[in-house]
A and B are shown apart, each in its own frame.
Chain A
Amino acid sequence: MADSIEDMIRAYGLTKHYGGKPGKKAVDDLGFEVLPGTVTGFLGPNGAGKSTTMRMLLGLDAPTRGRATIGGREYAGHPAPLHEVGALLEARSVHPGRSAFHHLMALAHTHSIPRSRVEAVLGLAGISEVARKRVKGFSLGMGQRLGIAAALLGDPATVILDEPVNGLDPEGVLWVRNLLKSLAAEGRTVLVSSHLMSEMALTADHLIIIGRGRLLADTTVERFVRESGTGTVKVVTPEAGRLAELLAAPAVHITGDTPGVLDVRGTDAEHIGRTAAAHGIPLYELTPQNASLEQAFMDLTRDSVEYVASTGAPQPEGAAA
């Protein structure tokens, strides 16, 4: 899209109080930009203000202070809002007594979108076969697919999805992941919220992380992963120095603060194990650090988590779950 930079989402000092009580801010002076052509993950613990922010982007909730624009204008100022932004909201937004087809057709009429486009998005979401059934009977995942179909209806330049994989089976999760990537590859702006850092690491290019309504991080996935230490393999061996030399390669980075312990990045456990075996080096431990991405996210948001489980033992530091 030639005008792609025009399609970005911008939030300036977005603030939302609920119930007129200034003490409690759902969103607090939030500012960020979301660029076209990339998938931007919007992360935060429960109650962080993700859904509230998305509703403000769409003009459904009025900000107490601040402003949000999409493509340089407030959402309501566009002559064809559905062609500008397609959205999947967290809360159910469909009349259960209407069929999926009629639900989409009713929305389509507002923008003179033809029936063929309705059929196309039903097919795209994989719900053509149940399109004539009333939404009442839909499973959580089918409802979610209908919501995604509605978001794509107007062929929008910007897509805003609030927890789209919620309720989807593994196949559906993969479908959404590929869909988001292809939408971004077409030059669209894609903002998608999630609780799961690991899912976002696979899907998103950019991350906006909030906690208690405030911006905690605005970074790329690559940088977040690099700084979080994900993808390292912990190796415990009495011959740490020799193994480090054998593993040395341009892409491999080895750190070791404790004697006898190596943190290896840039290769996998299998390669390390084989190398050690080939040279007769005993290994006491060989552990890929899988949980650390989620751990890094939790570390970042720890101070801003509102709803912590109060029972249960404290988590062991850095342990794989």
Chain B
Amino acid sequence: MSSPTPTRNPAPPSAAPTTATTASAGYRLSTRGVLRSEWHKLWTLRSTWIALTAGVALVLAVGITMGATYDGDDAEIDTIVFTLFGTQLSQICLAVLGILVTAGEYSTGMIRASLTAVPTRLSVLWSKAGIFTAVAFAVSLVTNVVTFLAAQIWLAGSDKELTLTDDGVLAALTTSAASLTLLSLIALGLGALLRSVPGAIGAFVGGVIILPEIAAMLPLDAIDTAVRYFPAQAASSLGSVARVENTIAPGTALLTLALWAAVIIAASSVLLKRRDV
């Protein structure tokens, strides 16, 4: 690297007093401050921009492709599910981002600086969760609406023509964003729980996405019913205008997802308080 060495001009301590001569007495740890800190942390890493850009681009690109190439073959598929097919892929981007927000601090050692600044600890995790939820939901919702409108440019005149004000459309676009966000929040919680980026990605893909699919194949009705309340299966009832078969009701699904996220965040909160850093 050709960067200038820092030793060229080390400030002599005598010339630069170490004291902040003004108002250092006003320094105070606050929840607001921790929120600002987490907001700042989120946007000052390239990985955030890459994950969000990739997530948005995938949904848009897949949505436009689906719209532009529609020839009436998939008439039985719900229009919003059809248009937002890319969310299957952006789900991974957002989940990885959630994991990076928490587990990324452990893999880099940043967590030691964070918890030295905020030794009460919990507000760090909760601020991360709050800011991530807000950002992920806002980005997903805007992406969904834009993708829907873009796809409709081609779908107008077909049997998949819909407008935003049609019954259930806005609700489907919104619950799709909520389901993406809550599943990613579960990933964020797994990151805090497992403190390892690859570990949490493995747990999310294996435990949340794949395992329940396998369990559902078992020929037992009880398991079949229980699996519907698993995160990914609950999420599959969301983001559709028509009621999806073999799933719980959308309202129940939202509540179920929120509960899963709350339980995992609560578990990681308890461990965050108890474990050494």
Contact = CB atoms under 8 A, between A and B. Distances in A.
Q: State whether these chains interact.
A: yes
Interface residues of B, number: 52
A294 to B, nearest CB: 26
Given A76-B119, A107-B113, A124 B3 contact: no
Nearest to B32: A112
A79 B41 contact: no
A172 B7 contact: yes
A195 interface: no
Contacts of A59: 119
Interface stretch (B17-25, B55-63, B183-191): B17-25
B30 to A, nearest CB: 7
Contact of A171 (B10, B113, B116): B10
Interface string B1-42: 101111111111110101110001111111001101100110
B276 A111 contact: no
Interface stretch (A98-106, A219-227, A246-254, A278-286): A98-106
A9 B36 CA distance: 31
16 contacts: A58-B116, A60-B116, A75-B119, A76-B120, A80-B27, A81-B119, A87-B116, A89-B116, A93-B109, A102-B44, A107-B114, A108-B37, A109-B40, A126-B7, A129-B3, A175-B13
B118 to A, nearest CB: 6
Nearest to B9: A126
Contact of A127 (B6, B24, B115, B116): B6
B33 A109 contact: yes
Nearest to B24: A155
Interface of B: 1, 3-14, 16, 18-20, 24-30, 33-34, 36-37, 40-41, 44-47, 104-105, 108-120, 274, 276-277
**6 nearest A-B pairs in the assembled complex, by CB-CB distance:** A76-B119, A109-B37, A102-B44, A155-B24, A126-B10, A93-B112
Contacts of B113: 93-94, 103, 107, 150
A309 B86 CA distance: 59
A126 B108 contact: no
B27 A124 contact: no
Contacts of B14: 178, 182
| Size class of the contact patch on chain A | 35 or more
Contacts of A102: 40, 44
B45 A98 contact: yes
Contacts of A3: none
Interface string A166-192: 000101100100110011001000000
Contacts of B119: 58-59, 75-76, 81
Interface stretch (A137-145, A199-207, A259-267, A297-305): A137-145
Interface of A: 55, 58-62, 75-76, 79-83, 87, 89, 91-99, 102-103, 105-113, 117, 120, 123-127, 129-130, 133, 137, 139, 141-142, 145, 150, 152, 154-155, 169, 171-172, 175, 178-179, 182-183, 186
Given A60-B116, A98-B45, A154-B27, A175 B276 contact: no
B13 A182 contact: yes
A188 to B, nearest CB: 8
A95 B111 CA distance: 9
Contact of B110 (A61, A76, A93): A93
A95 B7 contact: no
B14 to A, nearest CB: 7
Contact of A110 (B4, B109, B117): B117
A2 B88 CA distance: 62
B13 A94 contact: no
A108 B28 CA distance: 10
Given A175-B13, A178-B13, A95 B3 contact: no
Given A92-B109, A111-B117, A182-B13, A106 B44 contact: yes
Contact of A81 (B7, B19, B47, B116): B116
B18 A186 contact: yes
Nearest to A160: B116
B19 A186 contact: yes
Given A75-B119, A110-B37, A142 B6 contact: yes
Contacts of A178: 12-14
Given A110-B33, A111-B117, 10 more contacts: A60-B112, A60-B115, A80-B28, A82-B117, A89-B112, A94-B108, A95-B41, A110-B34, A112-B33, A141-B6
